Amino acid sequence: MKMGQFEKRFVNSARHSGHVAERAERRLRSTDPEPGQRLLDVGCGNGAVAIRAARAFGLISVGVDLDPEQIEAARLAADGLQGVSFLVADATALPFPDGEFDLVYSNKTTHHIADWPGALAEMARVLKPGGKLVYADFVAPFGHRLPTRPGIDSTAAAHGLERQHAARTLVHYSASYRATDRTDQPLVPVSRA
């Protein structure tokens, strides 16, 4: 599901984009990123996070978003910055091989996706063993269409992600996960609850 025009104007404002990129830098710093590592920003919007990560940490940043207008805005914002690229892609069918990225970042994206468990599974799939997922989004206390905290954690665990840190409020959840060696990871049923 793409954002409406009103939401897009708000999200793309310079003030909001700067705030989002600053918060992302703090969250990514907690993963101890190293120059040259590969970062995937799922739901990258106008590219502010991918660009900031490339500049602040020397990461090779790839941003994906379902909205071609957002991808075009991201490419314009990057203005040829080395090590940053953007492409239109569906979070439930990421066009990358298994284990392609050291870091995956997703902020306020999965609540737009009806199959959010599928999107989380894809984020886990493209992480290298030992790689880290930094996740934040709105949650519903009792389900509905939005992700729930237990649903996010059980989906992550079912796909070989161990939670390292979490913070929550009634309607927001942020967590970081580490990808395990999936060959030893038993699959568990995924709950949307």
CATH code: domain of residue 167: 3.40.50.150
Domain extent, residue 16, equals 5-184
Question: Is 101 a member of any domain?
Answer: yes
Q: Whole-angstrom Cα distance, residue 167 to residue 176? A: 9
pLDDT tens across the length of the chain (193 residues):
566 775 666 566 677 678 888 999 999 999 999 999 999 999 999 999 999 999 999 999 999 999 999 999 999 999 999 999 999 999 999 999 999 999 999 999 998 899 999 999 999 999 999 999 999 999 987 666 788 899 999 999 999 999 999 999 888 999 999 999 764 444 444 444 4
47: Cα within 13 Å, side-chain hemisphere: 25
Question: Is 46 a member of any domain?
Answer: yes
Nearest to residue 61, comparing CAs of 18, 112, 110, 102?
Answer: 102
Quote the number of domains for the chain: 1
Q: Whole-angstrom Cα distance, residue 173 to residue 22? A: 18
Buried b vs exposed e over 84-100: b needs ≥16 C-beta within 10 Å? bbbeebebbebebeeeb
The answer to whether 101 touches 40, Cβ cutoff 8 Å, is yes
